[in-house]
């Protein structure tokens, strides 16, 4: 049984189309393909993929689904419905998100569906040192049925604290921080990996993207030659010089969606401490 995370589906009201289009461009995303009949566009930045939908059927913007590449056994077990609009199979995750499934065993069929239903907007290779791929989400839902759903898909339950249940995909490239203190069912945060958080920070600032401003405490920083960069680029760091996650934060990257971008070394997990710190008004001035 094989299933790998691929993209995030984000749905917004029609009146946000112009703002979101400009905002995504400012963030460094490139519109790759557009649906021929529906207001759906795939925006990419390296391997960070967002399926952006604008429709008159929603009142508020936000993440509406998670997309996966899955083998046919996984799809058959879920008994999903086929969504002709998305061109994929769709199941409910027993929480508040759609699970969109593209069959890995029928890539040619998927490619044909994309060619028939989408118009290519940009197929050039773009060099962007910003976001590399989505490595996790903060999901305000921790009900047992939802947790069972993802564990049935191969996610491993790795940790439970007072605030979060944490699950990690089988290949350990995608984590879900399931918030036990908030059951609104929305995804508030994307966690994205980057090769160089300092270069990415400089790139976002140069494009006019406002980042969080941290009131760093310098006493306990142990990051060797990186310490001055952590302070100079105003990043948030967890760990030591030998094992770390160095992060920065884009509040309201899109309406109702924040982005944490991070650089890691021998640091697999999403740190609960730093995730909460991004939202602690006593420590940041965004």
Q: What is the mean pLDDT of residues 67-84?
A: 90
Q: Where are the beta strands (DSSP E) in the chain?
A: 3-13, 30-35, 40-45, 48-55, 62-70, 81-83, 88-92, 98-103, 118-120, 133-139, 156-160, 164-168, 175-179, 187-193, 236-240, 243-254, 257-265
Closest of 191, 266, 182 to residue 236, by C-alpha: 191
Q: Is the pLDDT of residue 212 over 80?
A: yes
What Cα–Cα distance (Å) separates residue 272 from each residue in 73, 182, 213, 233? Answer: 34, 15, 19, 22
Q: What is the pLDDT of residues 100-156, one digit of tens each?
A: 998 886 655 556 666 677 888 888 877 778 899 999 999 999 999 999 999 999 999
pLDDT tens readout for residues 215-272? 655 556 778 888 888 888 988 888 878 888 899 999 999 999 999 999 987 665 666 7
| Integer CA distances (angstroms), 25 to 14, 43, 144, 204, in order | 18, 9, 38, 11
The average pLDDT across 177-204 equals 94
Phi, psi of 159 (to 5 degrees): -160, 145
In whole angstroms, what is the distance from residue 161 CA to residue 190 CA?
20
Q: Give the separation between CA 149 and CA 155, rounded to whole angstroms.
A: 9
Cβ–Cβ under 8 Å, residues 181 and 163? yes
- pLDDT per residue over 12-56, tens digit each? 999 999 999 999 999 999 999 998 888 999 999 999 999 999 999
CA angle, 169 then 76 then 151, to 5°: 25
Q: Work out the percent of the chain whose per-residue pLDDT is above 90.
A: 59
CA angle, 19 then 260 then 85, to 5°: 50
Measure the CA–CA gap between 65 and 60, rounded to whole angstroms.
14
pLDDT category at 283 given cuts 50, 70, 90 is very low
Closest CA to 259 of 207, 173, 201: 201
């Amino acid at each position: 049984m094989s299933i790998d995370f691929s993209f995030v589906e984000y749905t917004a009201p029609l009146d946000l189309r112009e703002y979101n289009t400009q905002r995504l461009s400012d963030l460094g995303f490139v519109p790759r393909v557009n649906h021929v009949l529906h207001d759906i566009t795939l925006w990419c930045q390296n391997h960070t993929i967002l399926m952006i939908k604008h429709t008159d059927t929603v009142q508020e913007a936000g993440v509406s689904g998670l997309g996966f590449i899955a083998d046919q056994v996984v799809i058959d077990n879920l008994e999903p419905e086929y969504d002709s609009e998305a061109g994929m199979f769709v199941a409910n995750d027993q929480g508040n998100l759609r699970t969109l499934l593209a069959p890995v065993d029928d890539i040619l069929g998927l490619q044909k569906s994309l060619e028939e239903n989408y118009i290519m907007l940009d197929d050039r290779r773009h060099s962007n040192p910003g976001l590399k791929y989505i490595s996790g989400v903060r999901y305000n839902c921790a009900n047992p049925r939802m947790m069972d759903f993802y564990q049935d898909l191969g996610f491993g339950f790795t940790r439970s604290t007072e605030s979060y249940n944490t699950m990690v995909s089988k290949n350990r490239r995608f984590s879900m921080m399931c918030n036990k203190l908030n059951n609104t069912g929305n995804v508030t945060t994307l966690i994205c990996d980057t090769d160089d958080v300092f270069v990415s920070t400089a790139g976002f600032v140069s494009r006019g993207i406002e980042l969080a401003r941290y009131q760093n405490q310098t006493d306990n920083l142990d990051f060797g030659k990186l310490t001055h960069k952590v302070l100079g680029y105003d990043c948030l760091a967890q760990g030591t010089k030998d094992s770390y996650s160095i992060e920065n934060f884009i509040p309201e990257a899109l309406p109702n969606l924040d982005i944490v971008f991070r650089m890691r070394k021998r640091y697999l997990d999403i740190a609960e401490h730093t995730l909460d710190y991004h939202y602690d008004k006593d420590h940041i001035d965004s």
